[in-house]
Structures are given as structure tokens and as C-alpha cells.
Amino acid sequence: MSRPQIQEEAVSQVAGLLMEKLQPDGLAIVMEADHFCMHWRGVKDTESKMINSVMRGSFLRDANLRREFLALIRKG
């Protein structure tokens, strides 16, 4: 990822690469990033953050596993 891009695309690309290379049973990614269009345009909000998540495999199929993962990262 060598250029600015939409965060939703970035997290999806990371998930795809990890799934391809590692071939795990499941994958869960939560990405928090600065929302630069809010910094540069419009409201000029320098504190604006975007959070996106991607679930693949067992995290997508198993709601309990997904809940456990999300609960653990909230505590962190």
C-alpha cells in the first residue's frame, strides 16, 4: 500500500493477503486510521478516526468466536 486509499479497501487487501499466505481457519482484523479527508477538507477535524473490520473464515461463520474477539480488543 504505497498510496493513499480508502481504508475499507486497505483492510480488505491486508485480509486477502494474510488469508492467501497463511491459509488460517479464520482471520479477524480491526483497523483504526486517521480520516485524512476530514483533516484537509470540510470541518478540518484533526481528531477524526475511522475504524473498519474484516472477518473471514471461522470468525465470519461463528458468532461466538466473533463476539469473543471483539470483547478482547475492547479491553485492550
Domains, the chain, in order of start with CATH, read: 7-75 (3.30.1130.10)
10 in Cβ contact with 31 (< 8 Å): yes
Reduce the DSSP state of residue 45 to 3 states and report it. coil
Neighbours of 27 (CB within 10 A): 19
**What's the pLDDT score for residue 48?**
72
| pLDDT tens digits, 22-53 | 999 999 999 988 766 666 666 666 677 788 99
DSSP state of 62: -
Residue 6 pLDDT > 60: yes
Report pLDDT for 3.
Answer: 60
Cα dihedral 20, 59, 48, 16 in deg (nearest 10): 10
- The predicted model scores a pTM of 0.75
What is the pLDDT at residue 39? 60
Q: Please determine, for residue 2, whether its predicted confidence score (pLDDT) is greater than 80.
A: no
